[in-house]
Amino acid sequence: MAARKLQVSSLLLLAAAFLCSSCTSLEPGAPDRIVAIGDLHGDLEAARAALRLAGAIDADDRWIGKRLVVVQTGDILDRGDEEESIMALFQRLQQEAPSTGGHVYVLNGNHELMNASLDFRYVTEGGFRDFQDAGGLGPPDSLLESLPAEERARAAAFRPGGPFALQLAERPTALIVGSSVFVHGGILPEHVAMGLDSMNRDVQRWLRGEIPRPEWIQGDRSPVWTRLYSNQPGQAACDTLSAVLDDLGVQRMVVGHTVQGTGITAFCGGRVWCIDVGQAAYYKGQPEVLEIRGDVVRSLR
């Protein structure tokens, strides 16, 4: 089943981005230049370095990307202390970029959805302190009272319906831009059958507190958890990937989630590009991003 491609005129593209954040594709055609950025895990300097490599921001963190499209594939949260600052930076760039014809998209990764599920295993002490003034705490309730005191403000911020969960609810889980599909872990055949727009919408409804957490968002078949295509995929995995891409009508998949020790790596004859290079301080990697210009795909270091 081919993914539905939304036909949005260039004059209405910005409005569509706000009105249809659950939609699979918001680009009316293939942009001249796309840059994808992988996992950042609470490292603001890594985020800035990646955005500068992309040609997206100047020394003052202001948008200079013109018609550039930036896609960040999730996992801004956890393992570092500067998560709120990174979220604020990307939010501001999302507002600045359309004035020059550019766009910035941020996806949800497994760590964003873990925080919405109050799974704080990978939160640093600084990460708990950073959200003490995030709002949403309100009067005590049984859920918050069941948590350690230092976790309550973060829980109030990220639980479904909380102020930062509502920010996450503006993001898609999967996005098609031009001839590429972007997702944190990977799109599997069951996700295509579900429909990517429907998948995005269900996650966003959960984050807004409207429905229970979808069961399919958990486990190793989840689009934010699977490593089928990013952990040395064999022929069977590559065959599955080809079927998924053909059904979606795109040429390639771009994923994060699994650290590639040698830098950005392509598998399956270049049909999947794995862009988590461990550039956050936690992993001690180096800045690197993926550039897509038509059929030419390369890493920038």
159 inside domain: yes
Q: Is the separation of the CB atoms in 88 and 127 below 8 Å?
A: no
Structure pTM? 0.91
pLDDT digits (tens, 9 = 90+) for 243-273: 999 999 999 999 999 999 999 999 999 999 9
Catalytic: 111? Answer: yes
Q: In b/e form, how buried is each residue of 79-112, taking b as 16+ CB within 10 angstroms?
A: bbbbbbebbebbeebbebbeeebbbbbbbbbbbb
Q: What is the domain count for the chain?
A: 1
296 inside domain: yes
Question: Residue 145 sits in a domain of what CATH number?
Answer: 3.60.21.10
pLDDT band at 19 (very low <50, low <70, confident <90, very high): very low
176 inside domain: yes
Question: Which entry of 41, 111, 191, 257 is annotated as an active-site residue?
Answer: 111
The range of the structural domain enclosing residue 26 comes to 10-300
pLDDT digits (tens, 9 = 90+) for 208-245: 999 999 999 999 999 999 999 999 999 999 999 999 99
152 inside domain: yes
5 inside domain: no
Long-range pairs for 9-17: beta carbons < 8 A, 24 or more residues apart: 10/101, 13/98, 13/103, 14/98, 17/94, 17/98, 17/103
pLDDT digits (tens, 9 = 90+) for 29-88: 679 999 999 999 999 999 999 999 999 999 999 999 999 999 999 999 999 999 999 999
| C-alpha dist (Å) from residue 125 to 80, 94, 132, 140, 148 | 9, 29, 11, 22, 13
Higher pLDDT, 208 or 25: 208
